[in-house]
Structure 1
């Protein structure tokens, strides 16, 4: 609802807002539409369009059949899914207890630990020290190198901690009077009240792990352990042909451009599919976690 003191926008203002919003939507949707249509186009359609296809002329699923038939792309999808699921669980298991502990005044090492966390907002160790630490502890060429270095994000930690601080202290004190310990309070009382902020922070972590690329470039040398973003960079930016399997001898492969666009679609689709289920928590979770009334 519009505040009582805010003037009703005029016709020109509404038209300007509509134009800007329409332009933003088109900027986002048109590239996705072109990637989707090109991935579903035949060789003749792509040749006729001279490359990327905007207007669909039939549907050809051969590019997706190649992707999911096995080979490097299927393996990369599995690796990305594994890293995203495990990484998100690890990050939530680290972030939530840390945020809850440091949201309680008087907790052990409260000021020192909180200062340690917040200091990383201002000081980042840099690329070389991070690389030396990861390789020094034996995580080189391991999937844990994509998870553990980014297991906790300070922004997400601050959001969750601020939300926990906003919970009624009387509710938690009453549970302590009844004999509940801190872990029981966190599991039975705090988490059920924090579904919105946990869903949003979980989405932030999942997007970060799904889109991991630079860490894979630094720490992963084995092609069998490449996540989907690393494979996408390899044969789209570097111009390499994707390694596929499952195609019978003598069967014509779909156009390389269609396969590349199919990988782009498959890369974007999982997060786009998950977002609608979290969207209703998104605004509420971020605002409640970031603003303490």
Structure 2
């Protein structure tokens, strides 16, 4: 008995040690970036790895926050992340749920049509012409509507909905629910683990929107955060501009790069705690009674 207890303790201790090491390996790079972004630029140029900031300064963040249109651009990014994610999840659920029902005529054909888009696409030029013909050029809708549905996420949702027992639908119909009532009152609440996961996927994709913003947006007032940071980086690393500015500007370029990573990463990281609880829940816990 003592040997079993010791073996169990050693196994748990090994697991905790391994997980703690993995956590450190994952957290340390970001911590180093954060520390370096608030360290004096001339010390960062030395290339040393630091655990704590030296000669604390927020000049890199001040440079970013004082960039023209920063507040407007940040609002644009939050808007397309929140609204775009909502639109994507709504359309994904409304498409995946009926396609998961084999009794629906043509469900398999439509599911294959969705899968086909994962292998082949229309290309950049046809996509641009389509967005232009819809009058969405230079609007934030061009960053949300054309990419509202991800085929891979649809496949995941279809597979998930097919695992749910049909008795749930029958109980809903007995209680007088129509198809929309069954979907939003029964299926969606017990599907929160997969919905939370796909919501995070969509939110991260919307927050990091860059290529589409460069292609569809030319009005600076409609830029996304990633585009603005890229332009700021180009300005700070331009030899011509650096030569005409003060001596401090080239030196703060390296800390501004690090501050950009922090500014573009931290907001989306704050979304995770609100969704994490759904990852740990059993997706069918308490949904079917014997």
Is the structural similarity TM-score above 0.5? yes
**Structure 1 residues 67 and 239: alpha-carbon distance in aligned structure 2, compared to 1, 3 A threshold:** closer
Alignment of 1:234-245 (within 5 A): 234-236=231-233, 238-240=234-236
What does the per-residue CA deviation read over 1:198-228, in whole Å, with 9 as the maximum and x for residues that have no partner? 1001000000000110001111111121111
Q: Distance in 2 between matches of 1:92 and 1:264?
A: 27
Q: Distance in 2 between matches of 1:54 and 1:195?
A: 41
What does the per-residue CA deviation read over 1:233-265, in whole Å, with 9 as the maximum and x for residues that have no partner? 2222x3448xxxxxxxxxx99934433422220
Q: Distance in 2 between matches of 1:73 and 1:182?
A: 45
Give the structure, 1 or 2, with the largest relative contact order (CA under 8 Å, sep 6 or more). 1
Number of residue equivalences: 260
What does the per-residue CA deviation read over 1:239-292, in whole Å, with 9 as the maximum and x for residues that have no partner? 448xxxxxxxxxx99934433422220100022222244345448799xxxxxx
- Could you say which residue in structure 1 is the equivalent of 2:256? 259
- Could you say which residue in structure 2 is the equivalent of 1:61? 58
In the alignment, is the contact (CA less than 8 A) between 1:67 and 1:74 conserved in 2?
no
Report the 3-state secondary structure (helix = DSSP H, G, I; strand = E; otherwise coil) of the residue aligned with 1:149. Answer: coil
Residue 230 (str. 1) matches residue 227 (str. 2)? yes
Alignment of 1:1-293 (within 5 A): 26=25, 28-41=26-39, 45-50=40-45, 54-55=49-50, 56-68=53-65, 71-236=68-233, 238-240=234-236, 255-282=252-279
Which one is further off, 179-188 or 61-70? Answer: 61-70
In the alignment, is the contact (CA less than 8 A) between 1:81 and 1:210 conserved in 2?
yes
- Could you say which residue in structure 1 is the equivalent of 2:240? none
Report the 3-state secondary structure (helix = DSSP H, G, I; strand = E; otherwise coil) of the residue aligned with 2:146. Answer: helix
Q: Distance in 1 between matches of 2:48 and 2:180?
A: 55
What does the per-residue CA deviation read over 1:124-164, in whole Å, with 9 as the maximum and x for residues that have no partner? 21112111111121111111111111100011111112111
TM-score where L is the length of structure 1: 0.76
What does the per-residue CA deviation read over 1:98-133, in whole Å, with 9 as the maximum and x for residues that have no partner? 111111222254233222212112222111211111
Structure 2 unaligned segments of length 5 or more: list them. 1-10, 238-247, 284-290
Q: Root-mean-square deviation (CA), in Å? A: 3.2
